[in-house]
Structure 1
Amino acid sequence: MGDRVYKTKEEILERGREVIGIPLHQIDKTNRLKTGKGAIGSVLEESWFGYKINSESNPDFAEAGVELKVTPYVYKKKEIRAKERLVCNIINYMEEYKHTFFTSSFWKKCNTMLLLSYEHKEGVSKGNFTIDAATLFSFPTEDLLIIEKDWATIVTKIKAGKAHELSEGDTLYLGACTKGASAASVRKQPFSELPAKQRAFSLKQSYMTYILNSYIFGDKIDEHIIKNPEVLKKQSFEEYVIHKIRPYFNKTQSQLLNDFKLKTNAKNVNELLLARMLGVNGHLAATEEFQKANILPKTIRVNFDGSITESMSFPIFHFKKIITEDWEYSEFKTMLEQTKFLFVIFRFNTNKELVFDNLIFWNMPEGDLQEVESVWKRTVAIIKEGVKLKKVGSRTFNNLPKASENRVAHVRPHARDSRDVLELPDGRFMPKQCFWLNNTYIREQLEKKKLS
Structure 2
Amino acid sequence: MKKQYKTKEEVHNRALDIRGKRFGDIADGISLKSKSLAGDVFEHWFGKEKDSASERDLKEADVELKATPFKQLKSKNKTGGAKYSAKERLVLNIINYENLANEKFETSHFLEKNSVIELGFYEYKSGISKSEWNFKDTVLFEIQKNSDDFAVIKNDWHTIQKYVLEGHAELLSESATDYLAACTKGKKGTNERVQPYSDVPAKQRAFSLKRSFMTNLLRQNILGDKKTESIFKGKFEIKKGSIENQVGEMLKPWIGWSVKKLEKKFDVKSTAKSKHAVLAARMLGLSLKVRFDTNSVKVAEFEKAGIVPKTVRFDEKGRNKESMSFAPFRFKNLAQQSWDETRDSEMADWHKFLLDSKFLFIVFQMVDGAELFQGFRFFNVPYSDLNGDIREVWEDTVSKIKHGVTLEAVKSSTANSGYVVNNNFVKLGQKASQRKICHVRPHAQKSDYSVNGKSSDELPSAIIWKNRPNNTKLFSDNWMTTQSFWFNHDYVRKQVLDLIEQ
| Fold match by TM threshold 0.5 | yes
Deviation track 1:403-452 (CA, whole Å, cap 9, x = no partner) reads: 454542222333313335444421354443322222222222224799xx
Aligned residues: 446
How much has 1:70 moved relative to structure 2? 1.3
Moved more, 219-228 or 239-248: 219-228
Q: Does the CA contact (< 8 Å) of 2:375 and 2:499 recur in 1?
A: no
Moved more, 395-404 or 224-233: 395-404
What are the within-5 Å matches in structure 2 for residues 303-452 of structure 1? 303-328=315-340, 329-351=347-369, 353-371=370-388, 372-394=390-412, 395-403=420-428, 405-419=434-448, 420-424=455-459, 425-426=461-462, 427-447=477-497
Identical aligned pairs, as a percentage? 40
Moved more, 214-223 or 94-103: 214-223
Q: 1:33 to 1:448 in 2, by over 3 A?
A: farther
Q: Counterpart in 2 of 1:138? A: 142
Q: 1:393 to 1:198 in 2, by over 3 A?
A: farther
Q: Counterpart in 1 of 2:101? A: 97
One of 157, 161, 173 as aligned partner of 1:151: 157
- CA–CA distance in structure 2, aligned partners of residues 103 and 202 of structure 1: 18
Q: Counterpart in 2 of 1:52? A: 49
- CA–CA distance in structure 2, aligned partners of residues 448 and 251 of structure 1: 18
Q: Does 1:33 align with 2:62?
A: no
What are the within-5 Å matches in structure 2 for residues 15-414 of structure 1? 15-36=14-35, 38-46=36-44, 48-76=45-73, 77=76, 78-139=82-143, 140-182=146-188, 185-221=191-227, 223-263=229-269, 265-281=271-287, 282-283=289-290, 285-328=297-340, 329-351=347-369, 353-371=370-388, 372-394=390-412, 395-403=420-428, 405-414=434-443
Q: Does the CA contact (< 8 Å) of 2:410 and 2:421 recur in 1?
A: yes
- CA–CA distance in structure 1, aligned partners of residues 198 and 426 of structure 2: 35
- Kindly provide the amino acid, as one letter, of the partner of residue 339 in structure 1: S
- CA–CA distance in structure 1, aligned partners of residues 137 and 458 of structure 2: 40
- CA–CA distance in structure 1, aligned partners of residues 216 and 243 of structure 2: 17
Q: 1:266 to 1:56 in 2, by over 3 A?
A: farther
- CA–CA distance in structure 2, aligned partners of residues 145 and 437 of structure 1: 33
- Structure 1 unmatched ranges of 5 or more: none
Judging by fraction of residues, say which structure has more helix.
1
**What secondary structure does 1:164 align onto?**
helix
Deviation track 1:271-315 (CA, whole Å, cap 9, x = no partner) reads: 211221222113162122122222211111123233332222212
Moved more, 179-188 or 160-169: 179-188
- CA–CA distance in structure 2, aligned partners of residues 196 and 363 of structure 1: 19
Q: 1:194 to 1:304 in 2, by over 3 A?
A: farther
Q: 1:412 to 1:18 in 2, by over 3 A?
A: closer
- Kindly provide the amino acid, as one letter, of the partner of residue 89 in structure 1: N
- CA–CA distance in structure 2, aligned partners of residues 390 and 235 of structure 1: 54
- Kindly provide the amino acid, as one letter, of the partner of residue 62 in structure 2: G
- CA–CA distance in structure 2, aligned partners of residues 44 and 178 of structure 1: 24
**What secondary structure does 1:315 align onto?**
coil
- CA–CA distance in structure 1, aligned partners of residues 447 and 25 of structure 2: 53
Q: Does the CA contact (< 8 Å) of 1:186 and 1:195 recur in 2?
A: yes
How much has 1:97 moved relative to structure 2? 2.4
- Structure 2 unmatched ranges of 5 or more: 77-81, 292-296, 341-346, 413-419, 449-454, 463-476
- Kindly provide the amino acid, as one letter, of the partner of residue 349 in structure 2: E
Q: 1:366 to 1:13 in 2, by over 3 A?
A: same
- Kindly provide the amino acid, as one letter, of the partner of residue 42 in structure 1: D
Q: Counterpart in 1 of 2:294? A: none
- CA–CA distance in structure 2, aligned partners of residues 116 and 317 of structure 1: 29
Q: 1:183 to 1:168 in 2, by over 3 A?
A: farther
- CA–CA distance in structure 1, aligned partners of residues 404 and 52 of structure 2: 46
State the TM-score, normalizing by the size of structure 2: 0.81
How much has 1:147 moved relative to structure 2? 0.7
How much has 1:21 moved relative to structure 2? 3.3
State the TM-score, normalizing by the size of structure 1: 0.90
**What secondary structure does 1:6 align onto?**
coil
- Kindly provide the amino acid, as one letter, of the partner of residue 215 in structure 2: T
**What secondary structure does 2:319 align onto?**
coil
Q: Does the CA contact (< 8 Å) of 2:180 and 2:209 recur in 1?
A: yes
Moved more, 57-66 or 378-387: 378-387
How much has 1:350 moved relative to structure 2? 2.5
- CA–CA distance in structure 1, aligned partners of residues 308 and 32 of structure 2: 37
How much has 1:253 moved relative to structure 2? 1.4
